[in-house]
Amino acid sequence: MELKLYDTLTREKRTFAPLDPACVRMYVCGPTVYDFAHIGNARPVIVFDVLYRLLRHVYGKGRVRYVRNITDVDDKINARAAERGIPIRELTEETYRNFKEDVAALGCLPPDVEPRATEHIEEMKTLIERLVAQGHAYVAEEHVLFSVPSMPDYGRLSKRPLDEMIAGARVDVAPYKRDAMDFVLWKPSKENEPGWPSPCGIATPGRPGWHIECSAMSWKHLGETFDIHGGGIDLVFPHHENEIAQSRCAFHTGVMANFWMHNGFLQVEGEKMSKSLGNFVTIRDVLKDWPGEVARFNMLRTHYRQPIDWTVRGLEESWKSLDTIYGYVGAYGAKADGAGADESPVFSALLDDLNTPKAIAEIFIAMGEGRNPQEVACGMMILGFSLDAANIASKRQVDKHKIENLVAVRLEARKAKNFAESDRIRDELAAMGVVLKDTRDGTTWEIAR
């Protein structure tokens, strides 16, 4: 059977063939460590964890090299550290630790390499100086900028018209730019900001632009050209477009990665996630009320390239589905050792561009037909689920005192005809998996099953 993956660059699903079958190489853009990661950040982590597991199953555990970077130098980091009044390194260490804990709870394997941007400054400077020497970048007012017109086919990944790219580019308007689309490779550091000796003979200490970081880290750990580059759809332009420009021009290669894979957007309860709307949900928030397996399963019920609507109802359905699957596997004592997985419809679904919804459907078909439970166990293993738990419900943490207090406060709100507050508390309880039943005698509650 062939593995087929959708390539954003060519806009087609193609058969995957690694450059070197002895070492399949994949790079995925990781977090900027300034705060707790939100549930949208969890999507690429889970998606590419499934791909990582699938590649290891197909090619062998020791033949896949997965790199996911850590951005630990950034304007958001500087601002948050100043806001909290703590050193930048303290902030990034704390946030990085929280991120690792959260994604581990989601059942994600650690990458083979997790490079930090601040540990690859020399590689960045080497790339920058090479681009300047080749006429693809220039120095202006202590900045180094990439010259977009120097790359004739710039924009192939996003396929946007030039005027749209100019309007949508997240770049500063600056008089020293030769072209509106030119972007920063290096910039001078302000007082109290991290800084390093600058490249290209610039006297003032500076720091790298965002895009050059990933070009340098992927080059360092995977080479000039590699197999797969992944991330969220929001990174296609300008980040991934600019990575391609930097790397291809620096190394004179036709491609940076053979496949570009992007997961779709995530919204919450039908709306774009936003702090102003009050629906900004972190991974840590979800894990307070739901086991990590439930969140992972809920994410995988939607194909990775499609938008996903993150809802409490979806989490409840995922919880029930997992409970059913775990019960089936546990009843037969099946083991997830990988035996027989290659011939199963579950495996075939995953080989078809990571079709996780179909893989899950095939698991339920197998259970409905009473087929070999080993097939179910192996499918769940590749999807990234531990079958040690006999029942997912036993993992649900319930704070009865908190629930009963909220029920009482809601009752008072209803008596005062403050229905907006009553509805808000009901929604808060629903997010915890609590189902309310209002009767003439009062309100009762139970955990959704």
Same domain as 408, residue 391: no
Looking at the structure, tell me whether residues 90 and 228 fall in a common domain: yes
Residue pair 134/249 in contact (Cβ under 8 Å)? The answer is yes
**Domains of the chain: total:** 3
> Is 315 found in the same domain as 208?
no
Residues 295 and 187 in one domain: no
pLDDT value of position 391 = 47
Please indicate, yes or no, whether residues 111 and 126 belong to a single structural domain of this protein.
Answer: yes
Q: For residue 276, tell me if it sits in a domain.
A: no
Q: Do 99 and 71 share a structural domain?
A: yes
Q: Could you tell me if residue 273 is inside a domain?
A: no
Short-list 152, 149, 123, CA closest to 138 = 149
Whether residue 232 is contained in a domain is answered as yes
Please write the tens of the pLDDT for every residue from 207-248. Answer: 999 999 999 999 999 999 999 999 999 999 999 999 999 999
Q: Minimal CA–CA distance to 117: which of 34, 182, 23?
A: 34
pLDDT in tens, 100-135: 999 999 999 999 999 999 999 999 999 999 999 999
Q: Do both 20 and 98 map to the same domain?
A: yes
Q: pTM for the complete prediction?
A: 0.86
Domain of 226, CATH number, reads 3.40.50.620
| Strand 183-188, strand 64-68: pairing | unpaired
Q: Do residue 385 and residue 294 come from a single domain?
A: yes
- Which pLDDT does position 405 carry in this prediction? 83
Among the three residues 355, 380, 395, which one is the final residue of a domain in this structure? Answer: 395
Do residues 297 and 428 both lie within one domain? no
For residues 400-426, average pLDDT: 85
Give domain status of residue 59, yes or no: yes
* Same domain flag for 409 and 373: no
Do 323 and 220 share a domain, yes or no? no
189 pLDDT above the threshold of 70: yes
> Does a structural domain hold residue 284?
no
Same domain, yes or no: 428 and 357? no
> What residue has token string 């790298």?
208
More confidently predicted of 330 and 421:
421
Q: Is there a domain that residue 279 lies in?
A: no
Domain assignment present for 236: yes
Instruction: Let me know if residue 111 belongs to a domain.
Output: yes
- Tens of pLDDT, residue by residue over 32-67, are 999 999 999 999 999 999 999 999 999 999 999 999
Q: Tell me the residue range of the domain where 421 lies.
A: 400-447
